[in-house]
Structure 1
Amino acid sequence: MLACFLLLAIAPARAQLVDTARPNLAAQISTRIVEVTTGFTGAEILVFGAAERPLGGEAGDQVLVTVRGPRTPQVVRRRVEFFGIWVNGPSARFLDVPGFYAIAGTRPVWEVLPEEARAEGMLGLDTLPLAARGAQEPSFRAALLALKQADGRWQEHAVPVEVSGGRLFLARIPLPATVPTGPYLVEVLLVRERRVVAQQTLNLEVRRVGTAAWISAVARQAPLLYGVACILLASLAGWLGSVLFRRS
């Protein structure tokens, strides 16, 4: 009888330990460094991994992948017509804007997480805290969203996360030619029953190399010299063009 009571007392404790155990999630990226050269036309990073339970579908676990780039200020201006001439009008300065943002998932994030969880984790373009100085009209935020999405620097479920074998996943995140340099943060989230139950963070760096790095360093450290060199090169190109066209 005493042995039975001991078994009954131990069983719930064991069940509780199993229920609260953190689900296994393993993720990796195809490269840790993306090199930007003078001929850089864009790149693609692969985020892949595995989970312990089936992924996708209506009842399975879901995977979300986010990639965030360095944050910089951004100015959005409205052009206005003044006596037949278009000039800069009101402007909004957004103080903390991610230079690159991408989110992908086995299903869209708004289908697998409640609004509160999305806002807390800044999961989705509509959750980015875009505080602005100057003009406060919603049209400036909408214009910023449109501009960033048009050149590929902000992406929201452009390509879904692929599932293979039930437990393996793969996300293809394209980086445009205009991608900013600096440190990037890659986050992989495992979602179960509309809750994030596991998370893994990976680091990525986008950096200039070769001639592109040298030109960027000169532009930052000696802007006057850089400006004079650009003017001289433009003048030389114009002179060569006029000579060639005159001969032809």
Structure 2
Amino acid sequence: MALYVYSVTAGTHPHRLDGLTGVGESPSPPRTVTAGPLAAVVSDVTEEIRPKRRDLAAHQEVQERLMADGTVLPLQFGYTAPDDLAVRQALEDAADDYLAALGRLTGCAEYHLRASQEEEPLLRRILKESEEARGLNDRIRSGVADPRLPVALGELVAREVEQRQDALAASLVEALLPFAREHAVHPHSAPDFLNLSLLVSDGSKDDFLTAQADLADRTDRTDDGVELRLTGPLPPYSFVQ
């Protein structure tokens, strides 16, 4: 029978899996497959697993239960293996890498920061601070019938938005890096201009949360329409290598 694989842990992890249900139309309870000092948390599946809301929630619930009791190497949603033997072989083949990752991530959690910005306040600031943008806008508003003007203004504003948001994103990352062991900047899509993961140790968690809250407060007081959204603690998906 095929297996859905949730994560890898140390074999000594308590694996409190009682009451959890796995993924799939007819979910099986999660269980472990062990190989030497390692264990994989799996459940039996009989069909191809797709990212339905219920299954995504079940996947995450297993990760969070495991994370509450120790270090976990979470797999991304959708990883399957043909049987117990294949899982055991994979653990044995990559044992050194898994053990190193477990050691590196011990006592840490992932925090995820997204930053977005309302368009209107940013455009107002660009028109206020950019003489060139303001001049183009004034000519358009005065009725100058030159089709090149809107194009030129649009290109200028797009450049200004990118430059300003890149600079702001860099400053946000720089402010939080002292509190993180590792970080990863992910691709983002509008309206977000920053998609950042940080690996934070338990010992730095309080200082990190204080720094992030202060940063959010200062950002909010600029009246630039910037919003910071923090989630965590999370299983360290972004830092499993």
TM-score by length of 2: 0.29
Q: Which has the higher strand share?
A: 1
Q: Which has the higher helix share?
A: 2
Structure ranking higher on relative contact order (CA contacts 8 Å, 6+ apart)? 1
